[in-house]
Chains A and B, each alone.
Chain A
Amino acid sequence: MIVDIGLIALALAFASAAYAVGAAAYGGAAKRPAWVTSARYAALTIAPLLTIACLMVILSNLTENYNLEYTYRVSNRAQLTILKITSLWGGQNGSVLFFAWLMSLFVFALFVREWRGNRTLEPWVLVVSMGTQLFFLFLSLFFANPFARLWLGAGGEVSAAVIAPAGARPFTPADGQGLNPLLRHWGMVIHPPLLYLGFVGLTIPYAFGMAALLGGSTASDAAWIKATRRWTLLAWLFLSLGLLLGGRWAYDVLGWGGYWGWDPVENSALLPWLAATPFLHSVMIQEKRGMFKVWNMILIVMTFCLMILGTFMTRTGVISSVHSFARSSLGGPFLAFTGLVLIGSAALIVWRWNYLKSENTLESAWSREAAFVLNNFLFMTITFTVFLGTYYSMFSELLFGEKKMVRPDDFNRLIGPQVTALVLLMGIGPLVAWRKSSPQALARMTRPAALAALVVVAVLVALGFRDLGTLAGFGVIAYAGLITLEEIYRGVRARMKLSAESPFTALGRLIARNRRRYGGYVIHMGIILVGIGVIGTMMYQQETQRGLRPGESITIGDYTIIYQGSELYVPETEPDKTVFVGHVLLSVAGGPPEVMNPPPYREIFQQGGGLLPPALRSTPWGDDLYVLFMGEEGGFGTLKVFINPLVNWIWIGGFVLIVGTLAAMWPSGAAAMVAVKSRRRSLVVGEAGR
C-alpha cells in the first residue's frame, strides 16, 4: 500500500513535469497565455506529489518494511528513529528522489505567486526548470526507483524490481542492512541536504538565463539577473554551508587531522561554487554598465553543468574516492543530460548573439570593470585547476595510457598562489572606481593598509618565518583585511558624524541601508579569516604517532599526552556498533595532567567501517590539539596527535561569511524594519546624550 502510493505519486509527478514542459513551450511559442498558466499549475503539483513520495519512503523505513529494496538497504530494526527518517537520503535511490523533491520546492516557491516579472520570461523559465525537474524524475522513475521491491524467483534467486518478475513472489528479509555507518553522524545527516539545496538552487538562475535567451529581446537587458540575484545568493549560501559542514564533519569523525583532502567528490562540490562566485560578481557589471552579457551566460551555463557533474560524481564511483559508497547505472543518463545542456545552451547563446552585444567598452585598465575581469579570470584559472586535477587520472589514461593521480600537495602548490592573488584583488577591487581610476589614487587610498601589512611581514620574519608562501599569504591577508575593515569603518564613522549614532547602531544601519555592498564586505572578511586558518594548517601542521603502554606518554609542542588504557563497550541504542575508547591525560607546558573529556575513541561497525573521532583542545588564538586513539595491539595503545595551528579561524570565518550572505540577500522589508527599530533606539540614545 505504502509502496503503491509512493510509486503513483512519483509517476504522476513525472507526468506533470512532462506536461508542464510541453504546455509551457507551446504557450510561449504560440503566445497562448492560457497554456502557460496551465503549465504553471502543473508545475505546482510536483512539490506536493513528491512530498507524498518522500513520506512513503520514510513511512516504509519506520514500519520496517524490508520488502522495499531501499528500506532494506538503508535501514534496520536497531536504527534510531531519527536515522530511519534521514536515511531517505542515505542511499542512491532515495537521494535522487530527495534531490528531485528539493528542486520541486524551489520551483514551487518560484511559481506559487502570480508571476510579476517579465511575462515573456515566464513560459521559458517553466520550460527550462521543468525540463531539469523532468530529468531527475526520469532518473528516479526508471534508473534509481526507490519503490523497487524484493522478489524471490522460482529458482530461489532474489532480485529487486518495481514490477514483479514472472513467477516470482514477494520476499521480505528479517532485517535490513542498515544505514552506512559513516552517514550516521549528525554532520553527515545535514551536510548532503545543504549541498543539494545549493545544487538545486542553481537551477533557477540557469533557467532564467536560458529563458532570457529563448525570449529573444529579453536577453539584452539585465532583468533575468535582477530577478534571480537573491535565488543565486541563496543557492550560494547553501553551497557554502554544505562545503563548510562537510569539512567540519571530516575533521570531527574521519580522523586524518584535516578538513579538506582534495578528494574528487569534495572537488566536485567545490566546482559549482567556484563558478557561481565569479557569476555573482560579474552580473554587477551587466546591471551597472550593460557589459559582459555573453560572459555571464557562459558562466551560468558552466555553473549549472558543474552542478550536474557534481551531482553525478557524488552518486557514482567514476573516480575512486572515499565518498563513492556505491557504483551505479546513472552514468549514461547523466552524461547525456550534461551533453544536452552544454550543446543546447551553447546553441542558444550563438542564436541570440545579436541581443548580447555589449553596451559599453572597457575604458581603462584601472577601473572597477577591469578589476572584475581580473576577478573572473582568476576564478576561472582556479576552477580549471581544480577541474583538471580532479579528472587528471581520466585525462592521463585517455591521452597517455598511464593512470596517474594528482596528490593534495600538488593542488595546494598550484592553487595557493592563485588564491593569494585573488585575495589581494578582493581587497583592492571594491576601492577602484567605475570607468576610470588611477594607480596613484589606489596607492594613496591603501597606503596605511600596505604599511601595516609590511609591519606584519616584518614581525613574521623577526619571529623566524622564512617561507615565501606564508609571508606572502599573511601579508596579503593583512593588506586586504585592513582595507576591507577600513572601508566598513569609514562608513560607520560617516554615519556617526551625520546622525549622532552609536558605533553599533551605525554599523547595523550601514549594512541595512546598503546590504549588497556591506554584506559583500562582511563576506570578504569571512574569506580573510578562513584564509588565516588555511595557511596555518596547510603550512604548519605537526604530527606524531606512537604505540604506548598505559602510563607512557607522547609529547608534541607544549603538550604531553599520557595514555591510561582502553575500554570497549557496545552502546545500548546501537547494538551493531562497538566503541573503543582510549583514556588519556593531557598536560600543557608541564602543568598538572588533566583528563581529556570527551576522550578520543573509535567506533567500529559490524557491517565494516567506522569512525575515528578525535579529542580536541583549542587555544584562545585558534590552534587545535587533535588526539586520535588508533587502537590497541599487544598491550600498546597507539596515539596519533596533530597540532593544527589557527584551524578554528576557518569555522569562525565561515560563520562570518554566512552572516554576510544573509545580510546581502535579506529582503528589503525586513531590513527596513530593522532600520526603523534602530532609529527609535538611536533617538533615545541621542536624547539621553543631551
Chain B
Amino acid sequence: MKPKFLLGGALLTMAVILVIAGGFAGGAQYFLTIGELRAKGAEFQDQNVRISGAVLGDSIRTYVDVQTPIVEFDVVDAVEKDGQFQRVVGQAPLHIVYEGPRPELLQDDAQAIMEGRLSANGTFHADTLLLKCPTRYEEQFPEQAQGN
C-alpha cells in the first residue's frame, strides 16, 4: 500500500476517534455516590446525574399529588464488603422524591440507582429509579439446617 494512503487512513482514524470520544464526553452523565454529590453539591446542582445508594426502609412514604402518585424515601451510601452491600454508618441520608407508584423492590436495604437532579433545598428529584433486591438473588444459602 502506498504511504499516502496509510497516512491518510491514520489521520482519518484519529479524526474519527476524536469526534466519537468528544461526542461521548460532552453528553456523558456523572455517576456519583451520595458522599460525592454532597461534596460537590454546588457544581452538580440542576445537572442531570446518576447516583446510587441503599434505601432506608423506615423513610419510605407514598401519597397522591394531583393525580400523580409520589414516592419519597432516604438513601445512604453503601460499600461492597465480602460480596455484601453494607450501609455507611453515620452519613446524613439524602432525601429522594420520585413520581410514580411504589415499586415492589423499594424496601429496606435495597440498592437503588437514581437519575435526576439535586435541587437547591437538598432534595434529589429522580426521573428514573432502578432497584435491586437487598440480598443478591444467588448469594445466600438457607439458614435452617436440614441434613440428610
Per the bound structure, the CA–CA distance linking A322 and B130 in Å amounts to: 9
B142 within 8 A of A: yes
Please give, as numbers and ranges, the residues of chain B lying within 8 Å of A436 by CB-CB distance. Answer: none
A171 touches B147 (CB 8 A): yes
Per the bound structure, the CA–CA distance linking A503 and B102 in Å amounts to: 58
B20 touches A172 (CB 8 A): no
A404 touches B31 (CB 8 A): yes
A608 touches B67 (CB 8 A): no
Q: Point out the residue from B20, B50, B104, B130 that lies within 8 Å of A388, measured CB to CB.
A: B20
Please give, as numbers and ranges, the residues of chain B lying within 8 Å of A545 by CB-CB distance. Answer: 68, 99-100
Which residue on B lies nearest to A373, using beta carbons?
B9
Per the bound structure, the CA–CA distance linking A402 and B30 in Å amounts to: 8
A118 within 8 A of B: no
A325 touches B138 (CB 8 A): yes
A608 touches B104 (CB 8 A): yes
Query: 7 A-B contacts, Cβ less than 8 Å apart?
Result: A172-B147, A173-B142, A325-B138, A326-B137, A630-B101, A631-B69, A633-B102
Stretch of A125-133, A150-158, A659-667 lying at the B interface: A150-158
Which residue on A lies nearest to B141, using beta carbons?
A158
Q: Point out the residue from B24, B30, B69, B105 that lies within 8 Å of A633, measured CB to CB.
A: B69
Which residue on B lies nearest to A320, using beta carbons?
B113
Please give, as numbers and ranges, the residues of chain B lying within 8 Å of A150 by CB-CB distance. Answer: 141
Report A57 CB to chain B, min CB distance, Å: 16
Report B113 CB to chain A, min CB distance, Å: 7
A645 within 8 A of B: no
- Size range of the chain A interface in the assembly: 35 or more
A249 within 8 A of B: no
A326 touches B142 (CB 8 A): no
B17 within 8 A of A: yes
A547 touches B148 (CB 8 A): no
Which residue on B lies nearest to A91, using beta carbons?
B138
B20 touches A385 (CB 8 A): yes
A174 within 8 A of B: yes
Per the bound structure, the CA–CA distance linking A327 and B84 in Å amounts to: 11
Given A381-B20, A404-B29, 16 extra CB contacts under 8 A: A67-B148, A159-B141, A160-B141, A173-B146, A327-B136, A385-B20, A402-B30, A404-B31, A407-B27, A410-B23, A546-B67, A607-B133, A608-B137, A630-B100, A631-B101, A634-B62
A413 touches B30 (CB 8 A): no
Among A170, A361, A609, A610, chain B packs the most CB atoms within 10 A around the CB of A609
Which residue on B lies nearest to A608, using beta carbons?
B133
Q: Which B residues lie at the A interface, using CB under 8 A?
A: 1, 16-17, 20-21, 23-25, 27-32, 50, 62-64, 67-69, 83, 99-102, 104-105, 113, 130, 133, 136-139, 141-142, 145-148
Q: Which 8 A-B pairs have the closest CB atoms?
A: A631-B101, A404-B28, A410-B27, A608-B133, A158-B141, A403-B31, A173-B142, A547-B67
Stretch of A196-204, A389-397, A477-485, A646-654 lying at the B interface: A389-397
Which residue on B lies nearest to A545, using beta carbons?
B100
Q: Which A residues lie at the B interface, using CB under 8 A?
A: 67, 73, 91-92, 150, 152, 156, 158-160, 169-174, 177, 180, 320, 322, 325-327, 358, 361, 381, 384-385, 388-389, 392-393, 396, 402-407, 409-410, 413-414, 545-548, 604, 607-610, 630-636, 638
- Assuming the contacts A414-B24, A631-B102, asked whether A547 and B141 have C-beta atoms less than 8 A apart, the reply is no
Which residue on A lies nearest to B133, using beta carbons?
A608
Report A182 CB to chain B, min CB distance, Å: 10
Which residue on A lies nearest to B30, using beta carbons?
A404
Which residue on A lies nearest to B16, using beta carbons?
A381
Which residue on A lies nearest to B71, using beta carbons?
A633
Please give, as numbers and ranges, the residues of chain B lying within 8 Å of A414 by CB-CB distance. Answer: 20, 23-24
Per the bound structure, the CA–CA distance linking A171 and B17 in Å amounts to: 55
- Assuming the contacts A67-B148, A404-B31, A608-B105, asked whether A389 and B24 have C-beta atoms less than 8 A apart, the reply is yes
Please give, as numbers and ranges, the residues of chain A lying within 8 Å of B102 by CB-CB distance. Answer: 631, 633
Which residue on B lies nearest to A638, using beta carbons?
B101
Which residue on A lies nearest to B103, using beta carbons?
A631
Please give, as numbers and ranges, the residues of chain A lying within 8 Å of B64 by CB-CB distance. Answer: 547, 633-636
Please give, as numbers and ranges, the residues of chain B lying within 8 Å of A413 by CB-CB distance. Answer: 23, 27
Per the bound structure, the CA–CA distance linking A152 and B20 in Å amounts to: 54
Which residue on B lies nearest to A322, using beta carbons?
B130
B69 touches A406 (CB 8 A): no
